[in-house]
Homo-oligomer: A and B are copies of this chain.
Amino acid sequence: MVPVDRAGRSKRKSAPQKARPAPRNDRRSARASDQRQARREQILRAAEGVFADKGFHAASITDVIQAAGVSRGTFYLYFDSKRVIFSELLDSLFFKLAACVRPVDLEPGAPSPLEQLRANVTCALRVVAQNENLMGILFRTGQGIDPEADQKVQDFIESIIDLIRRALQRGQQIGVVRQLDDELVAQCIFGSVKEIVFHGLQSGSFARRALEPMVDEVLRYNLRGFLRI
């Protein structure tokens, strides 16, 4: 049965923005704000574990608050909803990953493009290794969370692929990249790295193996795929 969307649930609330009082600037409130951050973090970390363990849907608020050791009410004191905290987790992951990727600098003094690529990938894998839970969320949850979160994941992937695509194009312009369908190949590259990451997490390789050889292998594979020779 297609559930009716609780039509007409009249909102009695006049001011929908949850008014969290702006922290005052004296020492007392500074401490309070610190505590607030700490508590948020505590819940965030717990949620991270729970979501990574069970995926978005199977994880219940009850799971989260039990893991965090806080009460139901406290949870909602810090996060507006299950989806909001999930979204925040997603954001933080994407932020960390995006921070790794920086466009290859072709200026004379810069390190070799290969070095730069390697640095990018190594950084990303390191972030992955250090945030297994968060990555787990990504892989365990997949699509189908809710439109907003789905879109967020989608957008992030798209942005990364676009980055790769543009890099390929520049590579073609300066003659180091062969003739190819940049869109398709960008997807190939992204997909191959993603799969590596996925299996690395699954098998725990990231904890056991040195990252360098893996990075090198993946780079070698992909470089051969798109370099001119």
Query: A: which residues have CB within 8 A of B?
Result: 1-19, 35, 38, 53-58, 60, 62-63, 66, 69-71, 74, 80-81, 83, 139-148, 150, 154, 161, 180-181, 184-185, 187-196, 198-199, 202, 213-214, 217-218, 220-222, 224-226
Query: Given known contacts A2-B63, A5-B13, A221-B188, is B148 in contact with A140 (CB within 8 Å)?
Result: no
CB distance B58 to A188 under 8 Å? no
CB distance from A121 to the nearest CB of B (A): 12
Q: How many protomers of this protein does the assembly include?
A: 4
CB distance A184 to B143 under 8 Å? no
22 A-B residue pairs with CB within 8 Å: A2-B13, A2-B66, A3-B71, A3-B74, A7-B16, A10-B148, A12-B147, A14-B53, A14-B54, A58-B146, A140-B142, A140-B144, A184-B214, A184-B221, A187-B199, A188-B195, A188-B222, A192-B192, A194-B195, A222-B225, A224-B225, A225-B225
* Chain B residues near A53 (CB-CB < 8 A): 14
How far is it, in angstroms, between the C-alpha of A141 and the C-alpha of B3 when the chains are bound? 20
How far is it, in angstroms, between the C-alpha of A214 and the C-alpha of B57 when the chains are bound? 35
Contact of A141 among B15, B142, B214 (CB under 8 A): B142
* Chain B residues near A58 (CB-CB < 8 A): 12, 144, 146
CB distance A54 to B144 under 8 Å? yes
* Chain B residues near A12 (CB-CB < 8 A): 54, 58, 146-147
Which of chain B's residues has its CB closest to A56's CB?
A: B144
